[in-house]
Amino acid sequence: MAQIRNRGSKCMANWDLLRKEGGVKQTHYETFYGTKPQAKAYANDIEKELKRKVGSSKSITFTIIDLFDKWLNSVKSTIDIRTYESYEYQTKRLRPFIGDLQL
């Protein structure tokens, strides 16, 4: 359940998500511009979406490598081949350093 707080002319909602490895709590914050009832309705929609994404306690891991691959495939048809090769080269250089980070 989201906690809604008034922040002047806007509202802030925060959700406690699953605990990461080691017991560290993960919290999701969002600022909403509108009234408190509108913020509650928005928070309910976001909460449903977060639950759908997380599903059970076994969440799907999505890494930077996956993001690189998905992004490269999505831009491949819209850019020049030389630009694509440059992007591919740069992402390959970054993979050993940040590729295993989870999103």
The predicted pLDDT at position 80 comes to 93
**32 closest CA partner among 5, 50, 11, 9:** 11
* CA–CA dist 77, 83 (Å, integer): 11
pLDDT digits (tens, 9 = 90+) for 10-69: 777 776 666 556 666 667 677 777 777 877 887 788 777 766 665 544 555 778 888 889
**Confidence tier at 89 by pLDDT (50, 70, 90):** very high
Which strands form 3-7's sheet, in the order they lie side by side? 3-7, 10-19, 25-33
